[in-house]
Chain A
């Protein structure tokens, strides 16, 4: 054909034509060889596989890891539950089958259709779709009895989470629920109807707690009846977790907190392990497993007492006088505090045209650091605050771990707030004023801390200055997050003054004295509203509940090498000593005197399906 072309250049590229031929040849050779291999060489084998009448595989649920308390008592376990599975390839008539399911289980038809529609995309061929997650015994029997009339329906055994102490550990453990569309999108190993942790440790340790599903292989005949089955991959249950929580202590505190709102944290200062984390009021984790009705969910969410809120980690409050312990540290860090130096308190301090009052109208007279802490004198700290100024105070507060989350393994932790000049400018567009130094110094104003942050700080004061990550897993190595910028001597002074606050007859923490134990503490009240003169004149028990001050107490106790740090925050508890003191005392009594509520009653299981 060469004569057709104007010139050599007009010819199709020879290399290109060769390439096309090579492509054809390669295609032929590769596929011919592969076909030979599949159909002739291994044909017998495949024919056998095909004849073996069609093996089916379905997942075998793996139990979720158990959760135990530090003493080895199981707190979260699994119980068998029965779900109704639907194999859509086997169903003869979908609508009739759904109607039958609706008749047996009482589930409304539109809900079934909705589940089916959502599940259809999510199940693999011949895998049962969990159309009704929980059947009782009669329903199981009814399905089994009609098995032949309704091909494609089968009972799937799986395990359901059961929290043996319902309310007691709800804020620690959280709860599980059905995997949502969102979860399924994010995690390919999940299937419709799987449980996933939705809050608390269940959520944060999902990866460790969730097992790996196994695979069961079955032979079925053409109608979908099973001829035999075998496990080809064993399910692997999730990892068991041992909590740092002491169930007895947790229960004892919970009993003491009944009818109150607030939180109590008990921590081992040397390891950062939390021996108790109580947030009151609480809720029942088990309610979520079965799936809450929208009404139940609404009631929980809108409850004015906010039972779902973890008040130890997700609530932040002004620290009140507890902050004086931070002020002492800030003074030491700046080398501007001599503990022997006294200041004179006459009941108030004037700054400009504003009068800052001490809580004690008559004044404390001449006080040094120890007495200022023992009697919680405001004027002493006003003066210290003026001397230090906002920058030095906030610098130390940050170094002490305030103003950011502690990193505990619980979701949605709040970091609180430590004000700085820049923060105020950004937030309000105003400059920081001298008067605010004074408010800052006594823990009022913009400062917000969580009980857990306070516990970590107190622990650092007595454990050699180490800020440890609050830990809920027993035996995990302590995680060092920072060190207090204080010398041993300086920490010893603050510790000694806390002990004085408990032991001195004038001390605000007298009520937590415990025989044979060295205890130290500090009280605080956090203003909820600025009380009007009219309210101030009222007897305390007449002030409306929601206007009463919050009560704080933070402290520690030790005997030999047994030590515990406790922080109690009782909302609207009025005074640190009387409002939060009893909770702290409860912990000391349990840990050092063995006074507890005794064996903890388990909540009855959900009505069992097998009886």
Chain B
């Protein structure tokens, strides 16, 4: 644990920190609007934004903690971390709690946590470690070895069953692999192979997942079912028009037409109330936020730091892409929240911690490696 000296503080990527806080506060404000009424069972959800604030405070603590140590230690800890994660994932079927029909949680007595969240962070670290040592673009053999490492936790998570988390682990690793780069031959092969494998994947999907995809292709086929979310979400966003309806004035959201409006579809409430203008500001904020992560990846002290930052970049990038894509009706419904905007406990915590890690990389960029 190196003492925090002033030089470190000086090099912190302040824009990233500021943008994170800005996004988080936007999210809390939006939740206040989205939860200003009751849901079906007479259950008042007024407290969502308060709870989110509490999670945010915990997240800030987590974020701060993540900057105290030199991130190079993660490199050493990568493999042990990996095996611990695999062990925890393996324990889930035996010791896990079943929630909503899927065993995903481990009960620690004082809190329950999802090893799949840990698996995402772990893949990020192990991926950064392996790939930062690669001198060349990846050939077939290397690519398969790395994919195999990722497939172990991903497969275990998919079997829980938690297809969403499993795929995000693979996408995170995929992003890192692309960041390292592939030899042209591998790249061309993948371009051909992946689309041809998609029809096969279709047979592995659950019925409800197929329905979501089909209803996404034509929402009108199932206007009462899976298509409902997409239609309502488009109506909410579209009806915001250019200027928006104003804070707390979103009729779609206030009249309970929009499902999941405080979680996955939170940004639709934002779109309705703040309009095209607000959404463009939010989108721009997200893009600058991602740009700052890119900057951290560009100017690190060592390659490991660069890959860590790139991994964090992809962690956020995929979530933003998939969530906004879904809310805007460009993608099938998959339950992935929007970082800092959607309500979520452990997700908020993890998001802040990863920002902490990115700051960690940025503030140590001028420290020369010792030994």
Chain A residues in contact with chain B, CB under 8 A? Answer: 1, 4, 9-10, 12-13, 15-17, 19-21, 23-24, 27-28, 30-32, 34-36, 38-40, 42-47, 49-51, 54, 57-59, 88-89, 91-94, 124-125, 127, 188, 215, 222, 232
- The answer on a CB contact under 8 Å between B236 and A50 is yes
Contacts of B255 in A (CB 8 A): 54, 222
Contacts of B328 in A (CB 8 A): 31, 34-35, 38
Can you offer 10 A-B residue contacts whose CB atoms are under 8 A?
A13-B179, A16-B310, A17-B294, A24-B290, A24-B291, A39-B240, A46-B234, A47-B239, A50-B236, A50-B251
- The answer on a CB contact under 8 Å between A30 and B242 is no
Residue among B180, B284, B294, B365 with max Cβ neighbours from chain A (10 Å): B294
Name the 6 nearest CB pairs between A and B, nearest first.
A46-B238, A43-B241, A16-B179, A50-B239, A12-B306, A39-B276
Interface size of B by Cβ–Cβ distance < 8 Å? 62
- The answer on a CB contact under 8 Å between A88 and B301 is no
Q: Which of B5-13, B106-114, B157-165, B220-228 forms part of the interface with chain A?
A: B220-228
A160 to B271, CA, bound (A): 46
Contacts of B143 in A (CB 8 A): none
Q: Which one, A23, A46, A57, contacts B317 given CB within 8 A?
A: A23
List residues 283-339 of chain B with CB under 8 A from any CB of chain A: 283-284, 286-287, 290-291, 293-294, 297-303, 306, 310, 313, 317, 320-321, 324, 328-330
- The answer on a CB contact under 8 Å between B275 and A39 is yes
Q: Which one, B241, B284, B366, contacts A39 given CB within 8 A?
A: B241
- The answer on a CB contact under 8 Å between B238 and A12 is no
B252 at the interface (CB under 8 A from A): yes
Interface of chain A: mostly helix, strand, loop or mixed: helix
Contacts of A51 in B (CB 8 A): 239, 251
Measured CB to CB, the nearest residue on chain A to B288 is A24
Contacts of A45 in B (CB 8 A): 238
Residue interface mask B206-247, A partner, CB < 8 A = 1:
011001000000000001110010000011111111100000
Contacts of B293 in A (CB 8 A): 20
Minimum Cβ distance to chain A for residue B270 (Å): 11
- The answer on a CB contact under 8 Å between B317 and A27 is yes
A23 to B259, CA, bound (A): 29
Contacts of B298 in A (CB 8 A): 12, 17
Contacts of A89 in B (CB 8 A): 40, 256
- The answer on a CB contact under 8 Å between A94 and B234 is no
Contacts of A27 in B (CB 8 A): 283, 286-287, 290, 317, 320-321
- The answer on a CB contact under 8 Å between A19 and B235 is no
- In addition to A23-B313, A50-B238, 14 A-B residue pairs with Cβ atoms within 8 Å of each other are A12-B303, A19-B179, A20-B293, A20-B310, A24-B294, A27-B287, A28-B283, A35-B279, A39-B275, A49-B238, A54-B251, A57-B224, A91-B42, A127-B224
Measured CB to CB, the nearest residue on chain B to A23 is B317
Question: Given A4-B301, A13-B181, A43 and B240 touching (CB < 8 A)?
Answer: yes
A47 to B241, CA, bound (A): 7
Contacts of A35 in B (CB 8 A): 237, 271, 276, 279-280, 283, 328
Residue among B235, B242, B366 with max Cβ neighbours from chain A (10 Å): B235
B22 at the interface (CB under 8 A from A): no
Contacts of B287 in A (CB 8 A): 24, 27-28
A326 to B265, CA, bound (A): 71
Question: Given A24-B294, A54-B257, A39 and B320 touching (CB < 8 A)?
Answer: no
A16 to B235, CA, bound (A): 38
- The answer on a CB contact under 8 Å between A16 and B239 is no
- The answer on a CB contact under 8 Å between A31 and B297 is no
B4 at the interface (CB under 8 A from A): no
- The answer on a CB contact under 8 Å between A39 and B228 is no
Minimum Cβ distance to chain A for residue B225 (Å): 6
List residues 160-198 of chain B with CB under 8 A from any CB of chain A: 178-181
Contacts of A13 in B (CB 8 A): 179-181
Contacts of A44 in B (CB 8 A): 241
- The answer on a CB contact under 8 Å between A46 and B181 is no
A89 to B256, CA, bound (A): 8
A59 to B303, CA, bound (A): 59
Contacts of A21 in B (CB 8 A): 291, 294
Measured CB to CB, the nearest residue on chain B to A91 is B40
